[in-house]
Amino acid sequence: MAPPPPRAALLLLAALALLLLLLAAAPRAAATGVFQVRRKFPAGGGGGDASIAALRAHDGRRHGRLLAAADLPLGGLGLPTDTGLYFTEIKLGTPPKRYYVQVDTGSDILWVNCISCERCPRKSGLGLDLTLYDPKGSSSGSTVSCDQGFCAATYGGKLPGCTPNVPCEYSVMYGDGSSTTGFFVTDALQFDQVTGNGQTQPGNASVTFGCGAQQGGDLGSSNQALDGILGFGQANTSMLSQLAAAGKVKKVFAHCLDTIRGGGIFAIGDVVQPKVKTTPLVPDMPHYNVNLESIEVDGTTLDLPAHVFVTGEKKGTIIDSGTTLTYLPELVFNEVKFAVFKKHQDIKFHNVQDFMCFQYSGSVDDGFPTISFHFEDDLALHVYPHEYFFPNGNDLYCVGFQNGALQSKDGKDIVLLGDLVLSNKLVVYDLENQVIGWTDYNCSSSIKVKDDKTGATYTVNSHDISSGWKFHWHKYPVLLLVTFVCSFLIC
């Protein structure tokens, strides 16, 4: 089955005006926050064609304040034969109720399933208790009406036909047929503030988010159901941007995805240890675009035309932790493939659910070369064989790089770097300075983050909070939501 196009979305959100609204009412005290993040599937799977096929299919569709830090403990294992997405536990409303939401670095709003939802699952095959959000059940919740300033700012003016008490609606339409529609509400978000080494206390903030009244496609599936999606994109509608505008956190976050033991680290705030080198984010782009300058295989720079590295409409390089695999333009894919297998001309490939797979009895790290992506400002991303191959049982390995030309016309010229190549690295997204960086790191260890209120640094530990699940992953196909989400009126 050929992979479908990268997942495109239409978010009818003019986000710049929202930031102005938030800044107008924002307090300037800040605190650290913690969200417990889990993989959508638990660690410990052994492989399976059905799970790989489902992963590939869904992966292709998604394509002046004093501030402290936040920690999102992770769970899961980032291999195609095991898991896909990370999710976290948050609390909304008064009294607070628990919701499990996917953490997605490529989308820009928080939404949860609403009590009025027509197709929202009541049960999850992940072994989670799902909760439908009820605006009337929260003493701090309120519906955003279309004549309120938030709605007018979001849509760039008063909506035609708007009358008082009519809800301000949102709609997200995905290229694979999945969809979520509903209306905006404002309510209290509870998160854990970091107060010391491994210590937290509850913190609160008022956020505006979507109350999903109807879900379509995969979002209505009970097997892989969650309560919603938590966007960590850089648009001003994201929860991160809202918390930063309210003076609760700094607009900097980092993740370290552990494919050795599972879980990892997710923190909001300045990372002071380890230090990372950075490269500029391409300005005015809806995703985390960076300037890729060259690719090396085994120390030799590939002879590639300059146009494959140019950033533009439907071109360029995107860092996307919401995608599992890596997608390369066809020319780049062919050159990388040739260089990787140059010393293994005798290897016979066979197709496993449209993955290139092969038998190999030795250590892939000993037998195959390192691939290095070189970016602006002399930042390199070194990808080792165990990060671009993944095992599928019985000395069978499959290639985690995909030919972008097989995805869609829209994605064929994009370099998309997903979880496999970002794993076992601390990746820092510094939106305050518009840079992104990384370093190889032991994601089962800890990092240091700075509390700007006190000047102190605190330890944020790794977590694998899904490790105790009693769940048989192989009963359900792997679900991946790729984060090609447009943040403006036109994708």
Which positions are catalytic?
Answer: 104, 320
For residue 306, count other CB atoms closer than 10 A to its CB.
Answer: 8
Bond into 73 cis (ω within 30):
no
- Could you give the C-alpha distances from 46 to 51, 154, 203, 337, 349, in angstroms and in order? 10, 46, 39, 26, 21
| DSSP letter assigned to residue 76 | S
Distance CA(480)–CA(477), nearest Å, equals 10
Closest-CA residue to 110 (of 37, 65, 170, 192) = 170
| DSSP letter assigned to residue 303 | -
Closest-CA residue to 313 (of 403, 414, 405) = 414
Are 263 and 446 in contact by the 8 Å Cβ rule? The answer is no
Are 271 and 427 in contact by the 8 Å Cβ rule? The answer is no
Closest-CA residue to 72 (of 227, 251, 192, 230) = 192
Which residues have CB under 8 Å from 107's CB, separation 6+? 9, 11, 229, 231, 232, 233, 238, 322, 483, 485
Sheet of 350-352: strands edge to edge? Answer: 350-352, 355-359, 396-399, 389-391
Bond into 202 cis (ω within 30):
no
Rg (CA), the chain: 22
- Could you give the C-alpha distances from 485 to 35, 106, 174, 364, in angstroms and in order? 23, 6, 8, 35
Give the three-state DSSP class for 22. helix
- DSSP character string of 326-382: EEE-HHHHHHHHHHHTTT-TT---EEETTEEEEE--S-HHHHS--EEEEETTTEEEE
Distance CA(305)–CA(116), nearest Å, equals 53
